[in-house]
Amino acid sequence: MNREHFTDEDKYDAKSRHLQSQLALLAQVEGQSEGEPDTSALILAGGLSVIEAGVAFFLLLPGGLLMATIGAFFPVFLLWAMANFQADRVDLPNKLDELAEIYEQEQR
């Protein structure tokens, strides 16, 4: 079909279909990250962190209480801080709505 036979209405309809398909794809790919974390995963992560801190504490206890406390909890704190950074900055689950708005503005 020749391009000059398309009307403005056809172009808008094609834009609209493209926008809807892009929004559906965006929701499919990025929407998976919007849910709340699984409770069992949080319990497991918390439990393993406590075990890690406990083992490190008792291994470092002969060096003194302060050293054992800092040496046990600093790595756990660092791991949770890195996980929080990754969740907020790398995965970007909260960007789904912003991307959808950008797609809609580009259609206009």
**How many whole angstroms from its chain centre is CA 81?**
14
Q: How many domains does the chain have?
A: 1
Structure token digits, residue 2: 């020749």
Q: Which domain holds residue 59?
A: 8-107
Per-residue pLDDT reduced to its tens digit, 6-49: 455 555 677 777 777 777 777 776 666 666 667 888 899 999 99
**pLDDT top residue among 103 and 53:** 53
**Domain for residue 17, yes or no?**
yes
**Domain for residue 85, yes or no?**
yes
- With a threshold of 0.85, does the pTM exceed it? no
Does residue 56 carry a pLDDT above 80? yes
Measured between its terminal Cα atoms, the distance across the chain in Å is: 25
**Domain for residue 3, yes or no?**
no
**Domain for residue 1, yes or no?**
no
